[in-house]
Structure 1
Amino acid sequence: MDQDFLGKTALVTGSSGIGLGAALRLARGGAKVFLCGNDDAHNQKAEAAAEGLDITVAHVDVSNEASVRDWIEPIGQSEGQIDVLVNAAAIQTYGDISTTDSAHWDRVMAINLRSCFLTSHHAYPFMKADGGAIVHVSSVQGHGNQNNVLAYATTKGAIHAMTRAMAVDCAKDKVRVNSISPGSVRTPLLEFAAQEVVGAGNDIEPAIAQFGEAHPIGRVGTVDETSELIAFLCSEKSGFCTGGDYLVDGGLLAHLGV
């Protein structure tokens, strides 16, 4: 693998699924990676997966400003420059306008959306001195929706707008901002969704296969596939890309299901 991130410092939120995949890909490309999550079990698995790579895992509540600040500022001060920020932390929840209460709404907004603001806000002073790249992980649910995902889908659509606004504002400092919108990708979040479909204790594999069949390519995606797109958008190879949202959805949004 090319050492396309040699000498770079990267922050990644979300210590499982797409976040962990991105951290591993950046580290294999030579980056010094700081990864965070608020689930200790996921953090421990991430540490095991990162063995031999320059990845430091921390327990951080990305919805809490003090927790985010106390994670990022010492890294920025010790490293001198933050080159890459990947926001992948998120939760998948269900509910419509009748069943979603305000506590549910606020929790999803805080973890999925507020976190992107907080990490960007506190990392930006350490990025703008020499440019950098930010990638927010959104979802196809920011473009089109299933039933019963009101709060989740709202956060993902808002990430698209946030990406555009940040890209325009940050261009003057040579900081590029993009988002990706995955379809169904085999992650703990997707497995949680599959379990919701089949019921507790039942085999999730039929549901995973059904999710895959909804995509023209005929399967669910892999974390490695999303990680390669993230790495491209964080690298100098995408130096003229900013303000965009990039689909990694197996053709899902290109297909009319009629």
Structure 2
Amino acid sequence: MDGKVALVTGTSGVAAATCARLLELGVRVLACGIDEAANATLRERTPGIVVRRADMAEAADVEACVADAVNRFGGVDVIVNAAAIHPFGTVVDTDAATWARCLAVNLGSIYLTGHFGIPALRNRGGGSIVNLASIQGHACQRGVAAYTATKGAIHALTRAMALDHAPDNIRVNSVSPGSVRTPMLAVAARHFDGPDADVEAVFRRFGDAHPLGRIAEAEEVAEMIVFLAGPRASFCTGGDYLIDGGLKAGIGVR
């Protein structure tokens, strides 16, 4: 992948790990995120990366990110859609603004990077898009209505994009992780166990639910993303790839 160009949405967790792995492979990376603290951390820890502040739910911001990648690096070969928010609540508990924001960030950002980015991929003779979905798009907890709705929709949108853009030599896939050690999972730990939660203890409890007995590291998910983005996955498109420690393979009855 040496010399390729990747646009990555999100600047922490799996997105940050993916950026680091792409850079190791010689990919030029432009990462886009709204959280300035996460942006600064990614710049500090990942030499060679370009980071832009952007709201990935805003068309003008996404268009500017794509244009920056094209102007700076000459084009775009890979898009990794990892930007997300994770509100909790049922459809009754979730207010309309939160519902709309979750759909705009988690799902709308994928539409926007495709809308503005696919022409850039076409100009390079094709490329790859990898969307970060979730095991929660297959089977979910209680109280995550907005989040799980977006992740299930990502599976469907991935299939649609794969079919529509196969003639352009553009492959589109998604990955569906189980629990992953990320800032988002730490927020979930505090949601369930309170603001003073022992986050590592909660992570161990989450890990116990997975047949492999642990949660994933962000770097493990990044490896799958980078594989799908690269030439070794040249016949993979329209698929969703579980990286869930066996979580979906079992049922909860004991």
Do both proteins adopt the same fold according to a TM-score greater than 0.5, normalized to the shorter chain? yes
Partner residue, 1:112: 106
Partner residue, 2:245: 250
Distance 1:230 1:254, change over 3 A: same
- Equivalent residue letter for 2:120: F
Partner residue, 2:197: 202
Matched, 1:144 2:147: no
List, as ranges, runs of 4+ consecutive aligned residues in structure 1 with deviation greater than 6 Å: none
Correspondent of 1:99 among 93, 96, 119 = 93
Deviations 1:183-216 (A, max 9, x none): 0000000011001111012321221111000000
Aligned length: 252
Partner residue, 1:23: 19
Give the share of equivalent positions with the same residue, in percent.
Answer: 47
C-alpha displacement at 1:74, in angstroms? 3.0
Q: Structure 1: state its 5+ residue gaps.
A: none
Distance 1:120 1:224, change over 3 A: same
Partner residue, 1:176: 171
Partner residue, 1:241: 236
**In 2, Cα distance between the equivalents of 1:152 and 1:106?**
11
Greater alpha carbon shift after TM alignment, 193-202 vs 70-79? 70-79
Deviations 1:35-58 (A, max 9, x none): 11100100011011112xx31011
C-alpha displacement at 1:241, in angstroms? 0.2
SS at match of 1:128: helix
TM-score by length of 1: 0.96
Matched, 1:124 2:103: no
SS at match of 1:200: coil
Correspondent of 1:45 among 41, 46, 49 = 41
**In 2, Cα distance between the equivalents of 1:220 and 1:148?**
21
TM-score by length of 2: 0.97
Q: Structure 2: state its 5+ residue gaps.
A: none
C-alpha displacement at 1:81, in angstroms? 2.3
The answer (yes or no) to whether the contact 2:189–2:197 under 8 Å persists in 1 is: no
- Equivalent residue letter for 2:233: S
- Equivalent residue letter for 2:29: V
C-alpha displacement at 1:76, in angstroms? 1.8
SS at match of 1:135: strand
SS at match of 2:63: helix
Deviations 1:58-91 (A, max 9, x none): 1010000011111211322443321100000001
Matched, 1:76 2:74: no
Partner residue, 2:151: 156
The answer (yes or no) to whether the contact 1:22–1:230 under 8 Å persists in 2 is: yes
The answer (yes or no) to whether the contact 1:76–1:123 under 8 Å persists in 2 is: no
**In 2, Cα distance between the equivalents of 1:156 and 1:136?**
10
**In 1, Cα distance between the equivalents of 2:215 and 2:178?**
8
Partner residue, 2:8: 12
